[in-house]
Amino acid sequence: MIIQKPAVEVLSTESYEDMLRRIERIGRVCYKSEDRIEEGSAEKFIRGIIRRGHESVIEHGSITVKFICDRGVTHEIVRHRIASYSQESTRYCNYVKEKFGSQITCIDLATGFRYDLNDETDRKKYDVWQEAMENAERSYFQMIELGATPQEARSVLPNSLKTELVATMDLREWRHFFRLRADAAAHPQCREVACMLLERFAREYPVFFADLLEAEG
């Protein structure tokens, strides 16, 4: 069994500068102020419409992300309806195969829940979790050996199973996502990947997300 930490990967190829220019041009149609487009005007314009709550304009931009997390977390993510999703399928992926390392991969419980593995209580909880993951892997392999298909054998796989979920959301929905999933009340493992992604978005798409990072921080 492999234990892996969660991760995020941005798959979109449109540059921040191109996104800014395109959304400014679209947004200025509302005010017929296209004549005010000039070098450096996009960020100021977009920051203003976000501040005024005119976020429908930024629905014209989208970002695609790959989450590498556990399957329990993906149940939280896919509740965001205004999005497109593609996910690693346990119906068709056979983890006995060599391309999966002939073992299952689980997302480390300790990082999302911030276990201190030098603490006796946290260590005991972690050891119970790890044993459960090893038992699940063993049961999965036994079912495959007995002739079960992957879609049968997946019934014994845990929520902690590593999965890859590709999500495309428009910029407005990403802002909504972060307001919910990066909040202190969010599920700890979902908040872990949401905060990871928000930090990256705030760095790479600052006019759209930096204010949320400041509010979250």
Evaluate whether residue 38 is within a structural domain: no
Cα–Cα–Cα angle for 148, 149, 150, rounded to 5 degrees:
120
Q: What is the DSSP letter of 69?
A: E
Domain count, the chain: 1
The 10s digit of each residue's pLDDT in 132-165 is 999 999 999 999 999 999 999 999 999 999 999 9
Q: Tell me the catalytic residues.
A: 181
Evaluate whether residue 54 is within a structural domain: no
Evaluate whether residue 27 is within a structural domain: no
**Is 177 a residue whose pLDDT tops 70?**
yes
Q: Residue 215: pLDDT band by 50, 70, 90 thresholds? A: confident
**Residue type (1 letter), 157:** L
The torsion angles phi and psi of 169, rounded to 5 degrees, stand at -130, 150
**Is 217 a residue whose pLDDT tops 60?**
no
Evaluate whether residue 49 is within a structural domain: no
Domain that holds residue 144: 1-13+62-206
Given this model, what pLDDT does residue 214 score? Answer: 81
Evaluate whether residue 66 is within a structural domain: yes
Q: What is the DSSP letter of 88?
A: -
Evaluate whether residue 76 is within a structural domain: yes
C-alpha distances in Å from residue 158, one per residue of 131, 162, 181: 12, 9, 22
Comparing CA positions, the residue from 79, 77, 49, 69 lying closest to residue 61 is: 49
Q: Residue 216: pLDDT band by 50, 70, 90 thresholds? A: low
CA 177 to CA 27: how far, in whole Å? 22
